[in-house]
Structure 1
Amino acid sequence: MGEDSGEKTEEPTPHKLREARKKGQVAKSKDLTTALMLIVAFLTLKSSAADIWQNLVGISYEAFDYIPLEFNANIAGEVLQKSMDVFFLSLMPLFGANLLVALIVESLQTGFVLSFEPLTPDFNKLNPIEGMKKFVSLKQFVELFKSILKMTIVISLIYFAIQEEFFMVILAQQLTLWQVMAFTGSIVMKVVIRVGLFYIVISIFDFMYQYYEFIKGLKMSKKEIKDEYKRLEGDPQVKQRQKDAARQMSQGRQMGAVPGADVVVTNPVHIAIALKYSPNAMTAPKVVAKGKRILAQEIKRLAERHYIPIIQNPPLAQGLYKLSEVGGDVPPLYYKIVAEILAFVYNLKRKRRQRF
């Protein structure tokens, strides 16, 4: 009865997570992007303020040069064109920096996700009943609480930043224009840094919450998992992924068995077979690992690292690769030659021990 119920208590399967990603559904925090964009935008403006000022002064001089001339549409168009050029030239670093920050932060949070499905029309969103359900959902109340909390803290940060400079604010009427601008800039800088750091801290908790909600929204019932498994059993891509995963696991087990092998037989370049024999536990020598090309090179590399003898015997290596299985016994056809190789290896080890 429990398995047939629609209660969604199971974690989403990898397939469902991939499908959600294709639809553009990923866990991310917008606050982190906002915080870093705010800080970078202000630092960019601060570093390019002198250039922006020079550009504005330059366009102002040019505008004054037109005053003695007869004003007409051509002059107005020329002044407007130059003003727009200065505007875009001055703000291009700001736009570029913000775009770069947004791309980097989004990529770090979600990876590169390109999906046009969120842009496709969904008429279910026009359903007033569904809209009302979303409006009164717990998630909306949490988002509202977060917004109020963030706004309250930001206002408090601004208030305390101004309060710290309260006496300077009172004396501002006695300062020169440039002093007022420098003083105002220092306050703004202080506010931006504090608000930005606050948003970064908030974004960490926000990302954890968004990830929790994301996984919660994708949870499945046991029946859904069974149905998905049955549906995917005939999918060629899924079968291929399963084969790849099984092969990788098999290769991993093989590599773990190589250090315990007695000898590695090669052909000598493209094939490597690792053999092990324990008279008290085995009725015949076993193949603990075998591989071609890259896997063969890895087997030989591990053998060299663990001082396992490597014997070149192309006919034996090729025969064992074709007729034996990893974890299985050496075919009886090769008992004699394998016994000779093992006897040679044991004798070699014995002489080495006697030497030292």
Structure 2
Amino acid sequence: MAEEDDSERSQEPTQKKLDDARKRGDVPKSVEVNTWFLLGAGTLALMMFSGSSSAQLTMAMKGFLGHAGTIEFGARAMQLMATDVLLMTIAALALPLLFMAVAAIVGNIVQNGFLWSLDPITPKFSKVSPIAGFGRLFSKTSLVNFAKGIAKLLIVGSAVMYAVWPEWEKLGVTTEFEPAALTPFTFDLIVRVLGSALAVLTVLAAADWLYQRQSWMERQKMSFQELKEEFKQQEGDPHVKAKIRQIRQQRSRKRMMAQVPQASVIITNPTHYAVALRYEKGMNAPLCLAKGLDAIALRIRAVAEEHQIPIVENPPLARALYAQVEVDDEIPAEHYKAVAEVVGYVMGLRRRGLR
């Protein structure tokens, strides 16, 4: 069968189609949202941990420089020194890095919740095929991503220049700053740059998330043929069949119970069976409006009592009617006499004003 053209996919995707895509790891994902979380976490980490981290590094470097004269030069000594410097750096930056790692995870969870799928990393020929790769390189998605990258570079770059411009003259003379003044100046400038970039990325991330969501929904659209095939598959699923049957039974029972207040009499067994009959002058035969067993029978009795409908206990007749007559059908001819006696009894009660 020839592959269907995208123009034929005009139908909204079913929930099953969306669920299957999610199981494959195919979900709408915005890189800009992840970038926003990372940049925001980096800015907060800088404001929260820069003092303690710089203090740790400063103390470590002071100790290192204070014993510079005793440092041995050699392969083993240099290896130990490099290890010490690395461990000191990791200890000083552990909290900021952990903060940013958590932000990266949260950025993905916020977009699609918890999702675990090995499908995206499963080796596939199409991923290494030069022809397929060439097609992806010049696809509509690639061109859009390229345009977005250029636009983001220009917009964020402009925002950063706007933040730095008031301090432009000071940047040229930072070498003349006292060490005590250089640190707060640098810290303030970095925070302003990150804050400006974060403000612009907030808008870009929101717009990109909406675009990615819309693009993903467009990719999930289905053709009429796909809808028919999915419906056939679901119809053959025993679980789906059982669910459909349950829904139909619930709707039928609800409609049946709504007819009980229109009944002329309820014939019971007395609690295991209940059959609601309706008879008016001009009808060929009494009509069965509702019938039920056990719990449903009790509900029919409760509705009848609420609407003051006569309840007549006749176990043999109740069992026979329950077994032989369907809802909305007339009673069989062999039960005319027995039902006529019950209806006559009820009408007699009404004439005497007892009902």
Normalised to the residue count of structure 2, the TM-score between the two structures is 0.67
- Report the Cα offset of residue 196 of structure 1: 1.4
> Which structure's relative contact order is higher, taking Cα pairs within 8 Å and 6+ residues apart?
1
- Report the Cα offset of residue 253 of structure 1: 9.3
Equivalent in the alignment of 1:202 = 204
- Report the Cα offset of residue 114 of structure 1: 0.9
Equivalent in the alignment of 2:38 = 37
When residues 108 and 251 of structure 1 are mapped into structure 2, their CA distance, relative to the original with a 3 A threshold, is farther
- Report the Cα offset of residue 41 of structure 1: 1.3
1:27–1:214 contact (8 Å) kept in structure 2: yes
Pairing 1:243-254 to 2, within 5 Å after superposition: 243-244=242-243, 247=246
When residues 14 and 166 of structure 1 are mapped into structure 2, their CA distance, relative to the original with a 3 A threshold, is same
Q: Can you give the 5+ residue segments of structure 2 that lack an aligned partner in the other structure?
A: 262-271, 309-314
1:254–1:288 contact (8 Å) kept in structure 2: no
Equivalent in the alignment of 1:28 = 29
Equivalent in the alignment of 2:152 = 150
Equivalent in the alignment of 2:113 = 111
Equivalent in the alignment of 1:233 = 235
- Report the Cα offset of residue 57 of structure 1: 2.2
Pairing 1:132-211 to 2, within 5 Å after superposition: 132-169=134-171, 172=174, 175-211=177-213
Amino acid in the other structure paired with 2:46: L
Q: Relative to structure 2, which stretch is displaced further, 82-91 or 172-181?
A: 172-181
Which structure's CA Rg is the greater one? Answer: 2
When residues 278 and 173 of structure 1 are mapped into structure 2, their CA distance, relative to the original with a 3 A threshold, is farther
The percentage of aligned residue pairs carrying the same residue is: 20
Amino acid in the other structure paired with 1:31: E
1:172–1:180 contact (8 Å) kept in structure 2: yes
1:42–1:192 contact (8 Å) kept in structure 2: yes
Amino acid in the other structure paired with 2:86: M
- Report the Cα offset of residue 77 of structure 1: 4.3
Q: Can you give the 5+ residue segments of structure 1 that lack an aligned partner in the other structure?
A: 263-270, 310-315, 351-356
Equivalent in the alignment of 1:17 = 18
For the residues of structure 1 that align with 2:280 and 2:207, how far apart are their CA atoms? Answer: 60
For the residues of structure 2 that align with 1:241 and 1:190, how far apart are their CA atoms? Answer: 58
When residues 64 and 203 of structure 1 are mapped into structure 2, their CA distance, relative to the original with a 3 A threshold, is closer
For the residues of structure 2 that align with 1:259 and 1:173, how far apart are their CA atoms? Answer: 88
Alignment partner for residue 122 of structure 2, among 115, 120, 134? 120
Amino acid in the other structure paired with 1:124: S
The alignment partner of 2:8 has SS state of: coil
Equivalent in the alignment of 1:87 = 89
Amino acid in the other structure paired with 1:221: S
Q: CA RMSD in A?
A: 5.1
Normalised to the residue count of structure 1, the TM-score between the two structures is 0.67
For the residues of structure 2 that align with 1:291 and 1:103, how far apart are their CA atoms? Answer: 54
For the residues of structure 2 that align with 1:251 and 1:63, how far apart are their CA atoms? Answer: 79
Equivalent in the alignment of 1:8 = 8
Amino acid in the other structure paired with 1:229: F
1:36–1:196 contact (8 Å) kept in structure 2: no
CA offsets 1:114-169 (integer angstroms, 9 cap, x no match): 11111122222333333333222222221111100000111111111111333544
1:29–1:203 contact (8 Å) kept in structure 2: yes
2:163–2:196 contact (8 Å) kept in structure 1: no
1:278–1:285 contact (8 Å) kept in structure 2: no
For the residues of structure 1 that align with 2:168 and 2:71, how far apart are their CA atoms? Answer: 50
When residues 83 and 17 of structure 1 are mapped into structure 2, their CA distance, relative to the original with a 3 A threshold, is same
When residues 249 and 50 of structure 1 are mapped into structure 2, their CA distance, relative to the original with a 3 A threshold, is farther
For the residues of structure 1 that align with 2:293 and 2:196, how far apart are their CA atoms? Answer: 60
Q: How many residues align?
A: 320
2:256–2:290 contact (8 Å) kept in structure 1: no
For the residues of structure 1 that align with 2:53 and 2:208, how far apart are their CA atoms? Answer: 36
For the residues of structure 2 that align with 1:124 and 1:78, how far apart are their CA atoms? Answer: 47
1:287–1:328 contact (8 Å) kept in structure 2: yes
Pairing 1:261-300 to 2, within 5 Å after superposition: none
